[in-house]
Amino acid sequence: MGLNPLGIANGTIPFDIDPSAIDNGQTHFEQIYDRAIVAINNAIVTYNHANTQTQLLRKHQDTLDDYNNNVEDRETDYKNRLIEIFGYPYEDCICDGCTYPTEYDGPDYYYYHYVDPSALINIDPPETVSFEIEYKESMNVDSTGNLSKHDKKVTYHIAKDGFGMIKPVSWKGSRKAPGEIQQARSDLILTKARFDKTLIEYNNLIDRIEDEAQLIQLQSQVNAAQINILYETMNEQQHLNNLIKKARNRQMIYKSISRIGNIIAQAMSEGMPSVFGVIGGFSCGVIGDVTAPARSAIQLGSALRDELLTQLSDAEARKELDAQQAKEIVQNLNTIQIQTLQNDHIIQQKIYQLKDLIRNEATLRLELYGIQESIQQASGRYLAVLAKGERLFQERLRYRNRVADQIREYRYADMAFRIFRNDAIQKYRAQFDFAAMYVYLAAKAYDYDTCLLNSDSRAGEHFLTEIVKQRCIGKVESGLPVAGGIGLTNMMLEMSGNFSFLKPETGFNNPQIETNPFSLRSEFFRIKAGYSSNKQWSNTLKEHLIDNLWDLREFRQYCRPFSSELQREPAIVIPFSTTITSRLNFFGKQLAGGDSYYDPSRFATKIRGVGLWFSNYDNTVLSETPRVYLIPAGEDIIGAAITNIRMFKVIDQVLPLPSSIGDSNLESSEWIPSINTVNDTFFKIRRNAGFLALHDGGTNWNNNLIRDSRLIGRSVWNTRWLLIIPGASLNFDPDKGLDDFINTISDIKFIFETYSYAGARK
């Protein structure tokens, strides 16, 4: 993009104009003309400011001695402020042949990050390694105004254990006074030591928790084994008791059998007669013991009774044995239950101890987080102080560079005038260039509005070269250009006079307003309406699909992006041209039924607003608010006469806006008119954002549309337009959104709201 001496690209025409002013009859040129008036008045304000400064500074200029005193005071101030930040050096590095010369009393530039860890965290000084760095040091300004520089080698010491640069063990001295950066670094190291200590405590606590948990598990296993042994012992005792019981029963049975045998034998022996004989003779007979059977029976009965009582006694003995064994079982069960309760109590105590440790873990963990945050804050404070020191150091270096330049200028008699007037003059020059730029832009708007041919002496082309040549403002009274002068105001007066004559003649004060719809399907692609042609319409849209908008040069150049370049953005891109020609429709096709066109008898038809309409848009699968771009990427064409046209390759350059300036602007060293009044990079092309396309959602077309006015003032006649429909505005899945759009949409319609001028009568 080639630029003229005023920083304006060839073809630049300002189009950031006010639509409401257009509606109220203020033309494109008149709006830019008013801005140029503001810029010229600002240039006069800065010119007067420069003159005032010159007069004041000539009355109050300092001598060279005064200036040197001011420089010395400023240097002392810088030194003290740097000492506050960097502190004094260690005594060990101030000597002949050391880093700092003898009697040095300035800040510690080289070893400001040295600390003594043993004094901070009570550990032995770590081992260090040394390395050397060579600097090119800028010293004071000498008497000739030059900034003296020399090479300097500095040896540094770094701890091996991670403390960074650290004071070596061989240095026994201390700082005269520490600075903010040493205090911040000490806070950082102390906080880091606290963090390490708390981290060790936390790790120890975790180990204790794990050990306690493992101990509980082992204790549970021991307790379970103990209970199992008790149960096994009880079962074994019960088994032995059963054996004893069975043996005792057999013993009693055997004894009973033995006693019964003895009783029967005894009874039988008693049943035998104890006297037996035979009597012969007359008294013959048998002599016997007739009471033996009775005695035997009595003895047997008595023995049986005794046996019965003995067996009853044995039964009671067995019951006693059973009770004794049951008592042992109960005692064993009680022992097991008591042991279980004791074991559970021990486990519960250990669990409470474990819970207490776990509660301590949360507290210690929160403390770690707090210390970690403190480390970040301490690190931030350290970096902030370091950045502050670096800024102050660079500020002093810039000051010394300026002083070096100023001392050379002070050798001349007008040294004070040159120093203090410089800023005001620079502002005036910048504001004059800014005013000249806007007068030039007003001439471009004048040329675009009037569209006069070069053969006409009033044509805008004649003003452009002359404006660039002007080096003075001209004559201004009450804020308006007046006749009788030269410079920019003379150009303004001539353009304003011509336009005042042309305005009623060309109809600028009586524009014709129109709102016309144009169908891409029927008027541009010549595809008939109806179901039978829908396939052809869909195929036509598919032919205009592109895989990625970032591959389209016009999108990068003219459109504000809606996503990162890392994302693929498929879209429908339809290029077309427009015309205002007799017998042709708006798209340059032969005029036919249903077509729309603009009147070629009117010399200029310009855009007030643009809308877009999607017919048969399915908002159940597509976004309710689709966004599109409409970009005039070709040349604007305006009919300068019935048989002549003019073509404008318009560049909508990012331009600063003139605004009233005050004392705060004039006194600010950073205020630059062409930079402080623009929110984007100067010399870039202004890129268009997308706008909302409306739709019927299946109903009939409605003429009440929201129109985008970003293209206001542009000619509707252009050699190349681009309609861009991003898939990302239709669906989360852009490819699916485009497919659904193509398969459902039945037409795309433009709605141009325009204003046109009849042109001069011939």
- List the structure tokens of 762: 């011939």
Alpha carbons within 13 A on the beta-carbon side of 482: 6
What pLDDT, on a 0 to 100 scale, did the predictor assign at position 724?
97
| 401 and 430, same domain (yes or no) | no
371 lies in a domain? Answer: yes
Predicted confidence at residue 127, as pLDDT, reads 72
Backbone angles phi, psi at 294, to 5 degrees: -65, -40
Same domain, 577 and 719: yes
> What is the average pLDDT across 501-517?
91
3-class secondary structure, 240: helix
Least confident of 158-162, 304-308, 746-750: 158-162
Residues 336 and 201 in one domain: yes
Query: Do 462 and 523 belong to one domain?
Result: no
Mean pLDDT along residues 404-412: 69
Range of the domain at 491: 26-60+413-506
Token representation of residue 615: 């017919």
- What's the pLDDT at 683? 63
Is the pLDDT score of 285 beyond 60?
no
pLDDT tens digit sequence for 227-245 = 888 888 888 888 888 888 8
Same domain? 556 vs 643: yes
Claim to verify: residue 429 and residue 526 sit in the same structural domain? no
Question: Which residue is associated with the tokens 């260039």?
Answer: 433
The predicted structure's pLDDT at residue 539: 96
Angle at 274 between CA 271 and CA 276, to 5 degrees: 115
Question: What is the rounded distance in angstroms from the CA atom of residue 717 to the CA atom of residue 690?
Answer: 21
Q: What is the mean pLDDT of residues 278-294?
A: 59
The angle, 0 to 180 degrees and rounded to 10, between the axes of the packed helices 180-271 and 292-409 is 170
In a domain, 497, yes or no: yes
Residue 626 pLDDT class (50, 70, 90 cuts):
very high
Cα distance between the two ends of the chain: 38
Whether the predicted pLDDT of 283 surpasses 60 = no
Residue ending a domain, choose from 506, 527, 556: 506
How many Cα atoms occupy the beta-carbon half-sphere of 149 within 13 Å? 11
247: in domain: yes
Query: Are 722 and 554 within 8 A, CB to CB?
Result: yes
What is the number of structural domains in the chain?
3
Would you mind telling me the total number of residues written for the chain in this entry?
Answer: 762
Q: How far apart are CA 182 and CA 750, in angstroms?
A: 69
**366 and 420 inside one domain:** no
Q: What angle do CA 31, 33, 39 make, to 5 degrees?
A: 110
**Are residues 355 and 449 both part of a single domain?**
no
Residue 704 pLDDT > 60 = no
Is residue 187 a contact partner of residue 378, using CB atoms and an 8 Å limit?
A: yes
Closest-CA residue to 182 (of 378, 397, 392): 378
Residue 439 resides in a domain: yes
Looking at the structure, tell me whether residues 636 and 541 fall in a common domain. Answer: yes
Res 281 pLDDT > 70: no
- 494 CB-near residues (< 8 Å, 6+ apart): 463
Instruction: Say yes or no: 395 and 477 in one domain.
Output: no
Contact 616, 697 (CB under 8 A): no
What's the whole-number mean pLDDT along residues 167-171? 78
Both 715 and 606 in a single domain? yes
Q: What is the dihedral of CA 58, 62, 67, 70, to 10 degrees?
A: -110
Pairing of strands 604-615, 694-695: parallel
- For residues 300 and 340, the model is more confident at 340
| Long-range contacts (CB closer than 8 Å, 24 or more residues apart) made by 152-158 | 154/99, 154/110, 155/99, 155/130, 155/131, 156/110, 156/111, 156/130, 156/131, 156/132, 157/114, 157/128, 157/129, 157/130, 158/128, 158/129, 158/130, 158/131
Specify if 115 maps to a domain.
Answer: no
pLDDT at 242: 83
pLDDT in tens, 319-375: 877 788 788 788 878 888 888 888 888 888 878 888 887 888 888 888 888 888 888
Q: Which of 485, 506, 527 is the last residue of a domain?
A: 506
The answer on 326 and 362 residing in a single domain is: yes
- Helix (H) or strand (E) segment spanning residue 336: helix 292-409
* b/e code 180-194 from CB counts within 10 Å (16+ = b): bbbebbbbbbebbbb
Residue 540: in which H helix or E strand, if any?
helix 534-543
Question: Of the candidates 448, 480, 506, which is a domain's last residue?
Answer: 506
